[in-house]
Structure 1
Amino acid sequence: MKSARLAVDIGGTFTDLALEHDGRRTTTKVLTTPSAPEQGVMTGVKAITQASGVAPGDIALIIHGTTLATNAVIERKGARTALITTEGFRDVIAMGNESRYDQYDLNIVLPEPLVPRHLRLTVPERLDNTGKVLRPLDEAAVRALVPVLQREKVESIAIGLLHAFVNPAHERRVQALLREALPNVPISLSSDVSPEMREWERFSTTVANAYVQPMMARYLRLLEADLRKAGATCPLFLMMSGGGLTTIETACRFPIRLVESGPAGGAIFSAHIARECGLENVLSFDMGGTTAKICLIDGYKPQTARTFEVARVGRFRKGSGLPLRIPVIEMVEIGAGGGSLAHVDSMGRIGVGPESAGADPGPACYAHGGRHPAVTDANLSLGRYDPTRFAGGSIKLDVGAAHDALMADVGAKLGLTAEMAALGVVEMVDENMANAARVHAIESGKTYDGRTLIAFGGGGPVHACRVAEKVGISRVLVPSGAGVGSAIGFLRAPVGYEVVRSLYQRLSTFDVAAVNGLLDDMRREAEEAVRLGSFGAPTVETRTAYMRYVGQGHEIAVPLPASVLGADDVAVIRERYDAEYTRLFDRPVPGSDIEIMSYAVVVTTVAEDIRPATRDESLFEREAVPARTQLVRDTTTGEVAEWGIHDRSALEPWITVRGPAIVAEDETSTLIGPGWSAVVNGLGYLELTRD
């Protein structure tokens, strides 16, 4: 009987793989192949099956996550897309909501829509806000668009009509008419992709889905075929941005739901580790080769959201990107990874990212043609990496190349040695990540008091102690397999699907029957999507309402009773809303009516029951002896000293490692800074505490 499960996570620099079989785990990293990502995946599959002794035909399930959809939007490398919308609304995706992310910038740059104006086409039709037909669809006008679409060589079509989230009839008819003439052109409907009010967000999400659909469908089908040729005949599942798994058919239809699939796996990994260790509230810190991701986890569950921005033109500026209205795990993602490039700006300050060296050519020390210094070059120059053991010895690092790049781009411009330039680069990237974490906590109405930082990714354990110091956290946890944490997180994710619908209601006139009917339809749709991949496993349903006081502009999420709603539940919903509003904004608004803008129903397979591991601190008496020493420059003091180097595979449970020290493993290294110590717990995880 097949029992092995394989996870594959494509990042900007590395492709991570994790294979679990017979209670054992095998992991590996290979360089991503940007021009043909499936080649890197297949290289990794070959390597990990050979290392584990598991044949591809013995794999029962493959779970995949990728940033390809995100990168296509950011780099503007998607399909040539047209938008068909209601007459008079062709400029909605350009006008947005007319807000400015920086009201004092007279030369503000706003994100360019993915569809140029000449490909935004309109048809006469009109529905009112209840879905009633005010103006019938002009089918002749729809047919007249076909020659235009053919002449412009359009590769994908997005259809977004006014109020289609209430009544999709006109959108579906436009789709049917176009399919008659253009059977091979994929079509995305806003009533399928994002059936919620707010035209800008709905149209933008639908356009983005259409923009990446041909590329993603082609890639996924090609990968599926390559896996079959290699002998892996098992199902292929995709990780979604909201934290659930879905089938390849759904992923090909709604690829926009994959934009944050890799980071979502990391958040699930952290939540699983937190539950294993009995840590109810933690900060997930995932630093890879291109970006760093920070996520708050409370009650063993990552924060979730309904909106997301991609391709921001203003760094860290909300409102400067293209809005996507999809289920996502809420996190802060910044351009601060091992491949993030360092530079000196016009004011003489060291800057890091968001540009990245990626996998090709990579940091200068990779000796693959990179000429500019990255964070990895800085860490190497500070003595934090062993140049002969990086990535398990698969990549030999060139210390001289890192030194030269740091001097050319940073040191020479500021009158610093290469080592001091490296110190400045690392301190700057640590501060960038800590500042992002501070802002994330403030925006979430939370603090870091009593939290543990869970560090993973290739760079997370390297920078965790310093970031923790900066945000006021005194405990860090580095789980086993940290270097490929997101991939392992895929193996912990449930099969799930979220359906969102808009139905405007006020609590003062709440229509219980209408809401129950809507929620039942949503449940059936979600259950059907999950059924294809759950293989009969039990499922659980959660319901959420997005609510606000009448007159406000933004909603907050409030959980609904899971059963059929009754008249008495209206008061319960009001109490829950007031409690959540008070948590976020300190006090409710008595006497104000509340309106519900939309509803979400999530159906997932039941999560594995995990009991926290026991601890026996009386065993923390043995102290590890380093295997060797290495000269390392401390980023806090700038002093160089001999640090002990420990091989993680040789550390036994309940043994203590005193800082300063480095615990090395194939996929990452854990830095235990001065004033810190670490204990290997019963699960094999490193628990770092600040003395």
Structure 2
Amino acid sequence: MTKSRVAVDVGGTFTDVCIMDEDTGEIRIEKTPSTPDDPMRAIMNGVADAKVDLADVTMFSHGTTVATNALITRKLPRTAMVCTEGFRDVVEIRRSNKEDLWDTYKDVAKPYIPRRDRLTVKERVDAAGKILQELDEDEARKVAEILKKRDVKAIAVCFINSYVNGQNERRMKEILTEVMPDVHVSISSQIMPEIFEHERFSTTMVNAAVSPVVVDYVSRLSDKLKDGGYARDLLLLHTGGGVMTPASVKDFAARLAGSGIAAGAIASRFIGNLCGFENSIGFDMGGTSTDVSLAHHGEPIMTKDWYIEYGYPIRFPSIEVLTIGAGGGSLAWKDEGGSLRNGPQSAGAYPGPACYSNGNEVATNSDANLVLGRLGTSLAGGEITLDPKLAEKAVRETVAEPFGMELHEAAEAIIDVANANMANAVRLLSITRGHDPRDFALVAFGGAGALHGAEVAKELSIPVVIVPPNPGVTSAMGCLLVDIQHDFSDSFMADAATTNPEDLEAAFHKIEAEAVDRLRHEGVTPENTVLQRTVEMMYQGQWRSLAVPAPSKVTSTQDLIAGFHEQHEREYNFSREDAPVSIFRVGVKATGVVPKAELPKHEVVENTPTPAGQRDVWFDGKCCKTDVYERVDFKAGAQFSGPAIVEQVDSTVVVPPNTTAKVDQYMNILIRWRTEA
């Protein structure tokens, strides 16, 4: 009986299923059209098409866009908020800033909870955690009855200063649960116990708003899998780069916002490291969007400043990923100034590009690639047939005629604009953060990443492009490379120099006990439990902090202070060792180690592959007779030169003229531009 692990990544156009044989490490894939009305249907279709026996599956991991889509479309159940009297409008006042300071007419989106559903109660805790006024329970019950009549499905409880003492919040939750047992209640002292009320209130609001949607989806999918014979917990990828079980999703649903894009970042870092590149840029181009991520010295870049909609931060730790509207289905269009644009509008999964024959008549990147000969006439192993005549008609009518261009010139213009947009996204995540793209490898994946990766790399002078063995399902494979992971934190505001190490130890022990209990509840054994401590510190008078690694037993704060000065120097290129330092917060990353996927290793023997055929492909305004290879025919050590096209079931690899390509021991294709004399 063959045991396998299954990972599923739901994209805007396709749902990817990745199946790994536990004994051999062999990976096989299945792609099926996404079903935006119910993503679970595509998942089960993919599992069925792949002929997976769920009874033989030892791990089922899933990156989901359900929470993200619910927030973007605002298809959310009615959600309420209960606040301290006088703090009803914190989430509407925000930071009084805008995404574009110079756009007078562009307003920040409204809060996910309208003002009429933000109610208040009398209670008060001071900044030191002392309860100045107990929760008015009569008033609290009246509020609960009002919300019950309004038939709300979720409630966020956000009291001022609860980050240091959440007693009143916990009591409010008890009362709400007594009156409405089936309502999802999120309290800020549990969700995000830190100062800065807008960020705390916002994170709790988002968590509450998506809870009914996410919990319902996860429960239904878990039941479907169990009905099919799967006997273990469903694992769901969260933005921090780990997975969580359905038990944790009930409390921290907002951690799944952005779940799907984190998988690609994890996979690209893994592949970069595997190929010997500690510095790598993930370039995940799908049907609707492109996600760019960055790993430096083998570790992903993390952030706590992220959001789905500007103005409403979600402060859970997250792998930093920049997403732009550039994919295979991105539409070409002419702006008011007469310039050619590409995206962010997309033809989506349906009707899709014009060549899909589903009624779209506007040119997309896929249509342009088909006109240029870079794409063949079928996708997904022949499941989707592309019509070149419809692609030519769309490119001609959308771009060639309006701009007075020849057909192939217009198609190349569409691709050039798309590549420029994606290169700019890479610059934003690298150069603006002090990283030189020339020091990185570009890992190109997603259904369309390998079509554009080499030319994007040329634009940025990136020396090498890595195309994984299964680029179209690399994000799904990322779900097989993660551990169960949770982040815990607690406020600890004190002067670093005078802090008693025993007080720090006591704070760590408190959250470590919670972390161990959470992992135990998820079935993680003590020997597979790893706890990593951090202390967030800042120069006194600042409000932005840096997380400094802390030892398993703190005996002196001087080492922590020295570590903070070093990190400040590294992050900002200066430090002030004579300035006093404050401790802001203590944190613990709790990891439950699970077995990882391992790509099979092959013996490398230099060889020249045999093309399966040739076709005309356009590069730089010229038509080139181009060799077309089938990737399944490649052996480790294969070497060839561009121009070339490599076709496979889940993607197409474009190897432009003036490049060389080599297949490594893990069956990755490494493309390098020749150095011009």
Asked if Structure 1 and Structure 2 have the same fold, meaning a TM-score greater than 0.5 normalized by the shorter chain, the answer is yes
Q: Does the CA contact (< 8 Å) of 2:599 and 2:666 recur in 1?
A: no
What is the 5 A alignment of 1:43-192? 43-49=45-51, 54-192=52-190
Residues 1:197 and 2:180 are matched in the alignment: no
1:240-255 matches, cutoff 5 A: 240-255=238-253
Alignment match, 1:679: 662
Hey, what does 1:314 align to over in structure 2?
Answer: none
Using the alignment, how far apart are the partners of 1:641 and 1:468 within structure 2? 21
Alignment partners' CA distance in 1, 2:68 and 2:612: 42
2:191·2:204 contact (CA, 8 Å) conserved in 1? yes
Paired AA for residue 5 in structure 1: R
Go from structure 1 to structure 2 and tell me whether the alpha carbon gap of 1:560 and 1:224 turns closer, same or farther (over 3 Å shift).
Answer: same
> Which residue in 2 is equivalent to 1:399?
388
Q: 2:5, 2:480 within 8 Å by CA — same for their partners in 1?
A: yes
Question: Which residue of 2 is the match for residue 326 of structure 1?
Answer: 316
Q: Is the 8 A contact 1:83 1:207 kept in 2?
A: yes
TM-score normalised by length of structure 2: 0.94
Q: 1:652 & 1:139 partners in 2: Cα distance?
A: 72
- Structure 2 letter corresponding to 1:270: S
Matched, 1:14 2:10: no
Asked whether the equivalents of residues 143 and 178 of structure 1 are also in contact (C-alpha less than 8 Å), the reply is: yes
In 2 relative to 1, CA 557–331 (structure 1 residues): closer, same or farther, beyond 3 Å?
farther
Over 3 Å counting, the alpha-carbon distance change for 1:55 and 1:137 in structure 2 is same
Distance in 2 separating the partners of 1:275 and 1:164: 42
Give the match for residue 586 of structure 1.
Answer: 573
1:536 Cα offset (Å): 5.7
Give me the whole-angstrom Cα distance separating, in 2, the residues matched to 1:420 and 1:409: 13
Q: 1:98-157: per-residue Cα shift (whole Å, max 9, x none)?
A: 223333333232122111111111111111112111222111221122343234332211
Query: Do 1:537 and 1:605's aligned partners in 2 also have CA atoms closer than 8 Å?
Result: no
Segments of structure 2 that go 5 or more residues without pairing to the other structure are: none
Residue pair 1:548, 1:596 contacting (<8 A) in 2 also: yes
Please give the alpha-carbon distance, in whole angstroms, between the structure 2 residues aligned to 1:616 and 1:688.
Answer: 20
Give the whole-Å Cα distance in 1 for the aligned partners of 2:592 and 2:651: 32
Q: Deviations over 1:280-325 (max 9, x none)?
A: 22112111222211111123221122231213xxxxxxxx342110
Q: Which residue is equivalent to 2:38?
A: 36
Does 2:275 align with 1:277?
yes
Q: Runs of 4+ in structure 1 displaced over 4 angstroms?
A: 606-617
Take 1:352 and 1:321, find their aligned partners in 2: how far apart are those partners? 27
Distance 2:115 2:209 in 1: 15
**Structure 1: how far apart are the matches of 2:528 and 2:431?**
37
* Aligned mates of 2:422, 2:89 — CA distance in 1: 37
Aligned residue in 1 for 2:507: 518
Structure 1 segments unaligned to the other structure (5+ residues): 312-319
Residue 248 to residue 608, structure 1, CA distance change in 2 (3 Å): closer
Question: Where does 1:194-343 land on structure 2 (aligned, <5 Å)?
Answer: 194-311=192-309, 320-343=310-333
1:434-583 aligned at under 5 Å gives the runs 434-531=423-520, 532-534=522-524, 538-561=528-551, 563-567=552-556, 570-583=557-570
- Please report how far the alpha carbon of residue 607 of structure 1 lies from its aligned counterpart in structure 2 after TM superposition: 7.4
Please say if 1:689 is aligned against 2:676.
no
The SS at the match of 1:157 is strand
- Residue type at the aligned position of 2:235: F
Give the match for residue 629 of structure 1. Answer: 614
| Partner in structure 2 of residue 428 of structure 1 | 417
**What CA deviation, in whole Å up to 9, does each residue of 1:153-194 have, x standing for no partner?**
322111111111111111111111111211121111112222
2:107 corresponds to which letter in structure 1?
V
Contact 2:98–2:107 under 8 Å retained in 1? no
- Measured in 1, the distance between the counterparts of 2:609 and 2:464 equals 20
Q: Which residue of 2 aligns with 1:640?
A: 623
Quick one: distance in 1 between partners of 2:81 and 2:398? 44
Q: Secondary structure at the match of 1:552?
A: coil
Distance across 2 between alignment mates of 1:477 and 1:524: 42
Residue 610 (structure 1) shift = 11
Q: Secondary structure at the match of 2:533?
A: strand
When the two structures are superposed, what TM-score results if normalisation uses the length of structure 1? 0.93
Who is 1:344 aligned against? 334
> Which SS does the other structure have where 1:196 is aligned?
coil
Change (3 A) 1:8 1:612: closer
Q: Distance in 1 between matches of 2:375 and 2:526?
A: 47
Could you tell me whether the CA contact under 8 Å between 2:291 and 2:321 is conserved in 1? yes
Distance 1:376 1:501, change over 3 A: farther
Equivalent residues in 2 for 1:577-616, closer than 5 Å: 577-606=564-593
Give, in whole Å, the separation in 2 of the partners of 1:244 and 1:210. 21
Deviations 1:249-307 (A, max 9, x none): 11233121011222211122122223322222211211122221111112322112223
Deviates more, 1:218-227 or 1:356-365: 356-365
Secondary structure of 1:102's counterpart equals coil
Q: Distance in 2 between matches of 1:232 and 1:394?
A: 28
CA distance in 1, matches of 2:519, 2:53: 28
What are the Cα deviations for residues 204-242 of structure 1, in whole angstroms up to 9, with x where unaligned? 111111111111111111112222233333321111111
Query: Which of 640, 650, 660 is the equivalent residue of 2:643?
Result: 660
Change (3 A) 1:337 1:501: farther
Aligned pair partner of 1:365 in 355, 363, 366: 355
For residues 481-522 of structure 1, the C-alpha deviation after alignment (integer angstroms, 9 at most, x for no partner) is 221011111111112211122221222332422221121222
Deviation string 1:607-666 (CA, Å, 9 cap, x unpaired) is 77999999999x54x3333211122222xx222222211101101111112101111110
- Please give the secondary structure, in 2, of the residue aligned with 1:309: coil
1:418–1:223 Cα change, 3 Å: farther
Partners of 2:399 and 2:81 in 1: how far apart? Answer: 45
Letter in 2 for 1:595: S
Preserved CA contact (<8 Å) 1:8 1:64 = yes
Q: Distance in 2 between matches of 1:673 and 1:70?
A: 36
Equivalents in 1 of 2:94, 2:626: separation in Å? 54
Classify 1:552/1:443 alpha carbon distance in 2 versus 1 (closer, same or farther; 3 Å). farther
Distance 1:297 1:608 in 2: 22
Structure 2 residue matching 1:574: 3-state secondary structure: helix
Distance in 2, Cα, partners of 1:8 & 1:420: 38
- Checking the alignment, whether the CA contact within 8 Å between 2:484 and 2:594 is kept in structure 1 is no
Instruction: Report deviation, 1:75.
Output: 0.9
2-structure distance, mates of 1:537, 1:254:
25
State the identity as a percent: 35
CA separation in 2, counterparts of 1:281 and 1:142? Answer: 53
Q: SS where residue 250 of structure 2 aligns?
A: helix
**Shift of residue 606 of structure 1?**
4.4
Aligned residues: 671
Deviates more, 1:663-672 or 1:147-156: 147-156
Deviation at 1:592? 1.7
Answer whether contact 1:245 1:495 (CA < 8 A) is retained: yes
Tell me how far 1:409 sits from its aligned partner: 3.6
Q: Deviations over 1:384-437 (max 9, x none)?
A: 11113x111111112233233334443443233443333222111211111111
Q: Deviations over 1:348-374 (max 9, x none)?
A: 222222233222222222223334333
Going from structure 1 to structure 2, the CA distance change for 1:134 and 1:491 (only over 3 Å counts) comes to same
